[in-house]
Amino acid sequence: MISCIAIDDEPLALKQVVSYVEKTPYLKLLNSFESAIDAITFLEENEVDLMFVDINMPDLSGMDFVKSLNNPPKVIFTTAYSEHAIDGFRVDAIDYLLKPIAYSDFLKAAEKAKSRIKTINEEAATVKRNDKFLFIKSEYKILRIQLSDIKYIEGMREYLRIHIENQKPIMTLMSMKKMETFLPEDSFMRVHRSYIVNLDKISTIERNRIIFDKDVYIPVSEQYKPAFQSYLDKNFLL
């Protein structure tokens, strides 16, 4: 199943794309937006495989929106203006649909996306990911970090600050969602929109806050409290 979002400032055009997604068996619509700006936060919090994006939108055009994203999902552009086709392929768009969109054309584009995403997933599956360390880019360098040395990870919009024992934090351009997906679930947990913690480094919890050192208090938000409480319950000795 390919997870999708649709973005178009014209309600009728958006409704049409949504209906096409819903009638295509291998596509799953996660959300739809009338503004690209509204979609940014959703992408930070959710894993999306494919976006259907209108190019001509006020405030932030679809093209500028895609260019602004770090590691964006695959994209199929929709627009009423054919002159944007070349620009679309410059950002590695899978296809370009000219309005009004026929379902047959939509389906051809969706099939291209399905094939491309399948190839990417198969290539990723051939590389065995370890659970001991990771490599990240930071200030034009590639650094190796032992997962066991990470205390917690702090989200700062499009950047992450990785706090490591006995050394200065490391900054890297990456989303919280991507980092969360990479880290082993038995050792790391997201407890707040802006924080992922190493469960093995927790020593004190006070009033729904995890205390790291004497002056670092990480809140556990309502959204992530049930999962964190479940972890505590499983390891709590009465």
pLDDT single digits (tens) 34-80: 999 999 989 888 889 999 999 988 888 888 899 888 778 999 999 88
Return the CATH number of the domain spanning residue range 2-125: 3.40.50.2300
Alpha carbon dihedral 97, 103, 104, 106, in 10-degree steps, equals 40
Asked, colleague to colleague, whether 2-125 and 133-234 share their fold, the answer is no
Beta strands in 80-169 (DSSP E): 95-98, 133-138, 141-146, 150-156, 159-164
Superfamily of domain 133-234 in the CATH hierarchy: LytTr DNA-binding domain (2.40.50.1020)
Measured from the Cβ of residue 238, the count of other Cβ atoms closer than 10 Å reads: 2
* Stretch (H or E) spanning 204: strand 204-205
Does 225 have pLDDT greater than 80?
yes
Q: Where are the domains of the chain?
A: 2-125, 133-234
Mean per-residue pLDDT of the chain:
88
What are the tens digits of pLDDT across the range 203-219? 899 888 999 877 789 99
Does 169 have pLDDT greater than 70?
yes
CA 23, distance to chain mean position in Å, is: 25
Which has more pLDDT, 81 or 9? Answer: 9
Does 110 have pLDDT greater than 90?
yes
Does 88 have pLDDT greater than 70?
no
Report the interhelical angle of 11-22 vs 103-125 (nearest 10°).
60
Residue 119, pLDDT score: 85
Distance CA 87, CA 33 (A): 22
Residue 67, pLDDT score: 87
What's the Cα-to-Cα distance from 65 to each of 36, 101, 116, 223, rounded to whole Å?
6, 22, 21, 28
Burial pattern 186-204, b for ≥16 Cβ within 10 A else e, equals: eebbbbbebbbbbbebbee
Q: Enter the tokens of residue 206.
A: 């006070």
